[in-house]
């Protein structure tokens, strides 16, 4: 059954246990960072950083807000990256869980930058050798009946994971409660992705790439349509 | 802990972590729980999901504040003004829980005529010694020695009337002009928290080092205690006053006498005037009501003699005062706290030093002074998992290694997960941990290191003699199995044994068996117990701390009585006899803690099994109704006569502050503080050279001085450098760019830091003028990262201390800041 995350940013305390746990589970090296005038570190996702808690200070309606956004791959239901790669040995969707997986051979696919560019949420990052990497939903853990590392360590209740149906229901119920206090609260693209964020304010207040780049999923659909019609014609001619 | 013991009788978190979920209103002040106790937010979140209001009061908008429903800022060091205003608000608006206040607190007690407060001083002050004679703060008693009371609370000298009078000066206007908190924010905090004075509402307070590390630290906490007593929030589920400890086992180490002035179980360290055991026991055994009660300090000799039996085993007998004379005695009138140790070391009178799991070169206030003090040592033993700035002090910044004579030995300890034993968390739960991986290399558990050290000392004293060999030679030292330290043997001795067969209630407790509870400890040498509070933790039924039963108690408030064990007597919520009315019916039925079913108490284990006050055959008598059994009078203390600096908290400015006068009275700083006067102890109050208030704090990503976390690359990636947080207004005043390096300077030292220019700090308006505040974390030290530029915030702090506890005032001091 398809899996999904529900990330309730209204509960996140930016403890960043998830960010560290992700590195620990995947054995990813630490980056050499400096303090650039913010707690957020590293600055950005990278080939070695699949999860990054973004932090933004702002005033909203006269109140101080410090907004936290644990960014990671959304595991799109129709992933533009997958379509863009067009090579299931490099990028594929795991049928059991819906995890979108970058394999060790992403480097061989031409147009790595196009793949990055196709992502509505600016997630994939490349190495010097043009390999791509990102969150893999901890697929190896899932296959061993463990929750993703970032979910296990989250004590505030912000990170949740489960069957898509259950998670979607949980997210919608929680949204109704949060909206009592924050009328602008919303779920970000719940029908497009498996990593569903609940935000109290406009997504752009959290991060530039919190919600999908305009038109990005249309592109996927166009490409999907192209593929389908290719298949259709192929069938028509051979059949 | 001094404030909690003074107010309620026990120096510990009254409730426990899980219980926070039961609260309607959580006030986090003097604590940044989200960053320093992240897991607490599991329970805080549950409370919030159930509709609780979360309040964060902090000079700086923190990760805790980001989750709060109400945030209020205040200038560091003004908590008493802030909370004094709340006490006034509660009384003026009659929001206190009246029945509770009359039944369970000393509100109705009549105070002696000699008590007075004027010009910022309580009666009995001696300006030559900077000390109070607190006999002026006593209660009037009748011919039977019982305290006189006026339960109408109208007597002008009853505690309630005096409390009201004392805080009548703390108007919103005055408070706001001291704290810098906008008036509307004060009111919204007061209103939200005072609403828990209703008997069916629960409010809890979480505090930590943001309250304790002040020259008025104990009185900061006393404010919280007074508020919780007025609101009837002590003893109930979702209530209490909860000291969040800075390290996973601080409660355990305090229970087992980490501090100089206590022996295990909060027994007193004897003074040189306590010339015999009898003398000592008499002095610390209180007289007065409740003399025949099974709990409380009335049983002092049972605890002290059982402790001596644990120390000295068969060598301790009635004939030799159970070895009492082998205990070290503290000089009368002298203190031996952290700052005293380094003062003495600085003067050159201490020659040898064990730094055990500590990094004073970074954790100690006025770290320059501490580091220089170490130069006077002949030897130092540094027991730690890594070398640190303490063991390597001789090659630190500004040191000339060839001029330091100190010989340093390093004993490698293994890390916590590589050894077996117990830890006691903030909520008093002692939990057994098994060993994970084996210790690396030649590192060892602390227990093995101590065991070997003790053995060697015994050998040396046996072969070479010494000035006073008896204490070491007679020490019982059999805590090994197969030559290795055995934590079970220690845990069992802490619980205690019978040393003679005992028949009680028709049951035989044979010699050599474990004592089932502290009520069975004896004062004749027939029992031993290394810590009476833990008697019951390891019995013939097994190791209680290792229990993992996940069944809740019948009241379903998250007590989980079969999971681990907690002192005292596995009681999860302290003072629960105050959670019920006279008939033993809970004030709040939906989250009751205990109730009297007519014959028994059910729910949690109450403080004493005697029947409820109103049940038949129980004449009204204080002996029968001790909600606060460990205080002398058995009542919660609004008026606390036992502290050195006053029975009510009074606002005084920090020793280093921005003001030359106290807006509330003639006395500027806590009158009982004796200021540090050494050559490296410069102070700068209201000094234009150091115009900005500064405070210190921790972040989630590092731990203490960072000896572990600075060596973990994943954490260094998150928080790589020392920083100073400053407001946009101050940044533009000083032309400081976000992310640039600056220097923070106090009268005692300076540190480099990266400027984080943030909206989370804002200037305060204090007495009509702008006062800026900045803040620094204290996790860094020169040794790592290797640049050597990320240093300890304690280079800035001072040896000014709270007069009750000698804890340095690291949370409020003055600095300047400049570009580099
Ligand atoms: S672990 Fe949970 S609370 Fe901590 S940063 Fe990640 S999502 Fe937020
Ligand atoms: S978020 Fe980006 S990388 Fe992740 S599945 Fe969607 S398109 Fe691919
Ligand atoms: S699911 Fe796994 S890979 Fe993805 S962010 Fe969480 S820990 Fe990292």
pTM of the model: 0.95
- State how far residue A55 is from chain B, nearest Cα, in angstroms: 10
Q: What is the pLDDT of residues A11-69, one digit of tens each?
A: 999 999 999 999 999 999 999 999 999 999 999 999 999 999 999 999 999 999 999 99
User: For residue A25, which atom of ligand 3 is closest to its CA?
Assistant: 7
pLDDT at residue B618 in the model:
54
What CATH number is given for A80-137+214-238 in this structure?
3.30.70.20
Q: Which of A11, A13, A199, A206 to mutate to test the pocket of ligand 1 (most atoms within 8 A of CB)?
A: A13
For residue A35, give the nearest of B46, B63, B720 by CB distance: B720
Q: Which residues of B72-97 are buried (b: 16+ CB within 10 A; e: fewer)?
A: bbbbbbbbbbbbbbbbbbbbeeebbb
Q: Using an 8 Å Cβ cutoff, are B818 and B742 in contact? A: yes
What is the arithmetic mean of pLDDT over B250-266?
Answer: 94
Q: Mean pLDDT in chain B?
A: 95
Q: Which of A76, A148, A153, A194 to mutate to test the pocket of ligand 3 (most atoms within 8 A of CB)?
A: A148
Q: Check CB contact under 8 Å for B38 and A13.
A: yes
For residue A37, give the nearest of B64, B714, B754 by CB distance: B754
Residues with Cβ within 8 Å of A179's Cβ and at least 6 positions away in sequence, in order, are A185
Residues with Cβ within 8 Å of B526's Cβ and at least 6 positions away in sequence, in order, are B498, B499, B500, B502
Q: Which CATH number applies to A3-73+147-205: 3.30.70.20, 3.10.50.40, 3.90.10.10, 2.60.40.10?
A: 3.30.70.20
Closest listed residue to residue B685, CA positions, set B698, B697, B670, B672 = B670
**Which residues from A are below 8 Å from B716, CB to CB?**
30, 33
Q: What is the pLDDT of residues A70-107, one digit of tens each?
A: 999 999 999 999 999 999 999 999 999 999 999 999 98
Q: Check CB contact under 8 Å for A20 and B715.
A: yes
Q: Is the CB of A22 under 6 A from ligand 1?
A: no
Domain with CATH 3.30.70.20 in chain A: 3-73+147-205, 80-137+214-238
Closest listed residue to residue B215, CA positions, set B148, B108, B130 = B130
Q: Is the CB of A85 under 6 A from ligand 3?
A: no
pLDDT exceeding 90 applies to what percent of chain B? 90
Dist. CA B126–CA B123, nearest whole Å = 9
Q: Check CB contact under 8 Å for A41 and B39.
A: no
Distance of CA B311 to CAs B269, B322, B456, Å? 14, 9, 18
Residues with Cβ within 8 Å of B375's Cβ and at least 6 positions away in sequence, in order, are B393, B394, B399, B403, B404, B405, B406
Q: What is the pLDDT of residues B121-154, one digit of tens each?
A: 999 999 999 999 999 999 999 998 889 999 999 9
DSSP-assigned beta bridge partners for residue B242:
B206
User: Would the pLDDT of B290 be above 50?
Assistant: no
- State how far residue A76 is from chain B, nearest Cα, in angstroms: 28
pLDDT band at A239 (very low <50, low <70, confident <90, very high): very low
Residues with Cβ within 8 Å of A213's Cβ and at least 6 positions away in sequence, in order, are A120, A121, A122
User: Would the pLDDT of A224 be above 70?
Assistant: no
**Which residues from A are below 8 Å from B66, CB to CB?**
13-14, 65-68
Q: Using an 8 Å Cβ cutoff, are A52 and B770 in contact? A: no
Q: Using an 8 Å Cβ cutoff, are B615 and B103 in contact? A: no
Ligand 2 pocket by Cβ (under 6 Å): A 73-76, 79-81, 100, 119, 121, 123-124, 134
What is the token pair recorded at B171?
A: 């108007």
User: For residue A80, which atom of ligand 2 is closest to its CA?
Assistant: 7
pLDDT at residue B622 in the model:
43
What is the arithmetic mean of pLDDT over A158-178?
Answer: 98
H or E segment at B82?
helix B79-92
Interface A:B, Cβ pairs < 8 A: 105
Q: Using an 8 Å Cβ cutoff, are B697 and B208 in contact? A: no
User: Would the pLDDT of B745 be above 50?
Assistant: yes
The protein residue whose alpha carbon is closest to atom 2 in ligand 2 is: A119
- Please give the full DSSP string across A163-177, using - where no structure is assigned: EHHHHHHHHHHHHHH
Closest listed residue to residue B215, CA positions, set B639, B651, B642, B647 = B651
Closest listed residue to residue B71, CA positions, set B115, B116, B9, B27 = B27
User: Would the pLDDT of A233 be above 60?
Assistant: no
Q: Is the CB of A100 under 6 A from ligand 3?
A: no
pLDDT at residue B616 in the model:
56
Dist. CA B236–CA B234, nearest whole Å = 6
pLDDT at residue B87 in the model:
98
Sign of CA dihedral B36, B38, B41, B43: negative
Q: Check CB contact under 8 Å for B66 and A11.
A: no
Mutation site, A9, A16, A174, interface B, largest B CB count within 10 A: A16
Q: Check CB contact under 8 Å for A31 and B716.
A: no
Dist. CA B395–CA A228, nearest whole Å = 71
pLDDT at residue A221 in the model:
65
Measured in Å, residue B719 CA sits from the centre of ligand 2 at 28
User: Would the pLDDT of B779 be above 70?
Assistant: yes
Q: Is the CB of A51 under 6 A from ligand 1?
A: no
- The most distant pair of C-alpha atoms in chain A lies apart, rounded to whole Å, by 66
DSSP-assigned beta bridge partners for residue B603:
B594
pLDDT band at B620 (very low <50, low <70, confident <90, very high): very low
CA of A99, nearest ligand number: 2
Q: Is the CB of A53 under 6 A from ligand 1?
A: yes
Give B326: exposed, middle or buried? Use CB within 10 Å, 0-12, 13-18, 19+: buried
pLDDT at residue B640 in the model:
96
Closest listed residue to residue B647, CA positions, set B223, B149, B103, B13 = B223
pLDDT at residue A149 in the model:
98
Measured in Å, residue A194 CA sits from the centre of ligand 2 at 10
Q: What is the pLDDT of residues B652-705, one digit of tens each?
A: 999 999 999 999 999 999 999 999 998 999 999 999 999 999 999 999 999 999
pLDDT band at A235 (very low <50, low <70, confident <90, very high): low
For residue B42, give the nearest of A16, A35, A155 by CB distance: A155
| Count of positions (residues) in chain A | 239
pLDDT at residue B17 in the model:
95
In B369-518, the DSSP E strands lie at 379-384, 407-412, 421-424, 429-433, 480-481, 484-485, 497-498, 502-504, 507-509
pLDDT at residue A130 in the model:
92
Q: Using an 8 Å Cβ cutoff, are B403 and B432 in contact? A: no
What is the arithmetic mean of pLDDT over B496-517?
Answer: 96
User: Would the pLDDT of A236 be above 80?
Assistant: no
Beta strand B25-29 with B203-207 is: parallel
Q: What is the pLDDT of residues B343-374, one digit of tens each?
A: 999 999 999 999 999 999 999 999 999 999 99
Dist. CA B457–CA B451, nearest whole Å = 10
ipTM score here?
Answer: 0.93
Q: Using an 8 Å Cβ cutoff, are B211 and B807 in contact? A: no
Q: Mean pLDDT in chain A?
A: 92
For residue A156, give the nearest of B41, B718, B721 by CB distance: B41
Q: Using an 8 Å Cβ cutoff, are B457 and B431 in contact? A: no
Q: Check CB contact under 8 Å for A155 and B720.
A: no
User: Would the pLDDT of B465 be above 60?
Assistant: yes
- State how far residue A150 is from chain B, nearest Cα, in angstroms: 14
Distance of CA B508 to CAs B376, B498, B502, B511, B617, Å? 58, 11, 6, 9, 32
CA R_g for chain B? 26
Closest listed residue to residue B115, CA positions, set B138, B149, B131 = B138
Place of tokens 């190495």: A127
User: Would the pLDDT of B41 be above 60?
Assistant: yes
Name, of A216-225, B526-535, B574-583, the range with top average pLDDT. Answer: B526-535
**Which residues from B are below 8 Å from A11, CB to CB?**
41, 45, 67
DSSP character at residue B564: S
Q: Using an 8 Å Cβ cutoff, are B761 and B742 in contact? A: no
């Amino acid at each position: 059954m398809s899996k999904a995350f529900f990330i309730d940013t209204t509960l996140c305390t930016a403890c960043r246990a998830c960010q560290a746990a992700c590195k620990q589970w995947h054995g990813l090296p630490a980056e050499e960072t400096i303090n650039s005038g913010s707690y957020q570190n590293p600055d950005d996702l990278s080939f070695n950083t699949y999860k990054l808690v973004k932090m933004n200070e702002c005033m909203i309606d006269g109140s101080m807000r410090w907004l936290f956004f644990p960014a990671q791959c959304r595991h799109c239901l129709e992933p533009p990256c997958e379509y863009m790669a067009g090579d299931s040995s490099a990028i594929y969707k795991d049928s059991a869980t819906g995890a979108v997986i970058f394999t060790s051979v992403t480097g061989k696919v031409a147009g790595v930058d196009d793949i990055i560019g196709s992502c509505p949420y600016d997630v994939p990052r490349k190495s010097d050798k043009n390999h791509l990497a990102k969150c893999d939903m901890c697929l190896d853990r899932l296959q061993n009946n463990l929750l993703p590392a970032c979910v296990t360590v989250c004590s505030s209740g912000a990170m949740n994971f489960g069957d898509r149906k259950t998670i979607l229901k949980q997210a919608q119920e929680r949204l109704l409660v949060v909206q009592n206090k924050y009328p602008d609260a919303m779920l970000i693209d719940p029908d497009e992705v498996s990593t569903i964020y609940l935000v109290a304010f406009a997504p752009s207040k959290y991060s530039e790439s919190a919600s999908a780049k305009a038109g990005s999923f249309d592109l996927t659909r166009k490409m999907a349509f192209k593929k389908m019609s290719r298949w259709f014609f192929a069938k028509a001619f051979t059949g | 802990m001094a404030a909690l013991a003074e107010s309620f009788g026990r120096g510990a978190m009254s409730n426990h972590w899980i219980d926070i979920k039961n609260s309607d209103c959580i006030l986090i002040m003097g604590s940044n729980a989200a960053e320093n106790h992240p897991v607490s937010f599991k329970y805080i979140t549950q409370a919030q999901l159930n509709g609780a209001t979360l309040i964060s009061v902090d000079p700086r908008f923190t990760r805790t504040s980001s989750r709060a429903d109400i945030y209020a800022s205040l200038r560091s060091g003004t908590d008493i003004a802030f909370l004094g205003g709340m006490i006034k608000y509660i009384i003026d608006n009659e929001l206190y829980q009246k029945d509770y206040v009359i039944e369970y607190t000393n509100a109705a007690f009549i105070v002696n005529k000699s008590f007075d407060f004027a010009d910022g001083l309580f009666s009995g002050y001696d300006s030559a010694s900077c000390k109070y004679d607190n006999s002026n703060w006593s209660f009037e008693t009748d011919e039977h020695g019982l305290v006189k009371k006026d339960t109408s609370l109208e007597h002008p000298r009853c505690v309630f009337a005096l409390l009201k009078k004392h805080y009548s000066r703390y108007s919103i206007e005055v408070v706001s002009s001291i704290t810098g908190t906008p008036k509307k924010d004060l009111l919204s905090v007061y209103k939200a928290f005072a609403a828990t004075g209703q008997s069916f509402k629960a409010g809890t307070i979480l505090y930590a080092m943001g309250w304790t590390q002040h020259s008025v630290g104990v009185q900061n906490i006393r404010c919280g205690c007074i508020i919780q007593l007025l609101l009837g929030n002590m003893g109930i589920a979702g209530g209490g006053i909860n000291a969040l400890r800075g390290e996973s086992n601080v409660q355990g180490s305090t229970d087992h006498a980490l501090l100089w002035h206590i022996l295990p179980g909060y027994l007193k360290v004897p003074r040189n005037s306590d010339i015999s055991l009898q003398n000592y026991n008499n002095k610390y055994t209180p007289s007065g009501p409740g003399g025949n009660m099974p709990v409380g300090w009335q049983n002092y000799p049972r605890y002290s003699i059982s402790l001596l039996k644990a120390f000295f085993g068969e060598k301790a007998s009635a004939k030799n005062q159970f070895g009492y004379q082998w205990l070290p005695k503290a000089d009368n009138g002298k203190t031996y706290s952290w700052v005293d140790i380094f003062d003495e070391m600085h003067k050159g009178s201490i020659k040898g030093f064990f730094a055990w799991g500590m990094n004073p070169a970074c954790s100690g206030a006025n770290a320059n002074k501490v580091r220089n003090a170490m130069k006077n040592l002949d030897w130092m033993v540094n027991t730690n998992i890594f070398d640190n700035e303490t063991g390597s002090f001789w090659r630190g910044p500004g040191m000339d290694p060839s001029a330091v004579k100190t010989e340093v030995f390093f004993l490698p300890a293994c890390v916590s997960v590589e050894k077996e034993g117990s830890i006691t968390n903030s909520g008093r739960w002692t939990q057994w941990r098994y060993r994970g991986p084996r210790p690396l290399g030649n590192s060892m558990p602390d227990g093995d290191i101590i065991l070997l050290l003790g053995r060697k000392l015994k050998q040396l004293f046996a072969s070479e003699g010494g000035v006073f060999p008896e204490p070491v030679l007679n020490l019982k030292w059999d805590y090994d199995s197969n030559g290795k330290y055995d934590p079970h043997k220690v845990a069992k001795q802490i619980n205690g044994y019978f040393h003679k067969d005992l028949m009680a209630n028709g049951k035989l407790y044979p010699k050599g068996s474990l004592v089932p509870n502290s009520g069975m400890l004896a004062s004749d040498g027939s029992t031993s117990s290394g810590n009476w509070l833990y008697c019951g933790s390891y019995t013939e039924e097994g190791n209680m701390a290792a229990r993992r039963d996940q069944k809740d108690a019948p009241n379903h408030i998250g007590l989980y009585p079969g999971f681990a064990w907690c002192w005292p007597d596995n009681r999860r919520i302290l003072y629960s006899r105050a959670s019920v009315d006279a008939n033993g019916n809970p004030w709040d039925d939906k989250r009751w803690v205990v109730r009297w079913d007519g014959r028994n108490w059910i729910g949690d284990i109450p403080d004493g099994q005697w029947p409820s006050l109103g049940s038949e055959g129980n004449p009204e008598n204080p002996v029968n109704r001790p909600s606060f059994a460990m205080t002398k009078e058995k009542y919660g203390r609004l008026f606390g006569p036992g502290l050195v600096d006053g029975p009510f908290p009074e606002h005084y400015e920090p020793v280093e502050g921005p003001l030359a006068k106290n807006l509330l009275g003639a006395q500027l700083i806590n009158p009982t503080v004796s200021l540090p006067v050494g050559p490296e102890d410069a102070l700068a109050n209201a000094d234009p050279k150091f115009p900005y208030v500064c405070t210190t704090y921790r972040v989630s990503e590092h731990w203490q001085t960072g000896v572990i976390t600075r060596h973990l690359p994943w954490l260094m990636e998150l928080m790589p450098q020392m920083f100073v947080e400053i407001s946009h207004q101050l940044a533009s005043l000083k032309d400081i760019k976000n992310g640039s390096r600056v220097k923070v300077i106090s009268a005692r030292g300076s540190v480099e830091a990266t400027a984080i220019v943030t909206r989370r700090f804002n200037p305060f308006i204090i007495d009509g003028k702008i006062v800026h505040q900045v803040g620094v974390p204290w996790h860094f030290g020169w040794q790592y990262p290797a640049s050597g530029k990320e240093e300890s915030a304690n280079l800035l702090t001072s040896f000014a201390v709270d007069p009750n506890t000698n804890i340095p005032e690291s949370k409020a001091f003055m600095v300047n800041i400049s570009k580099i």
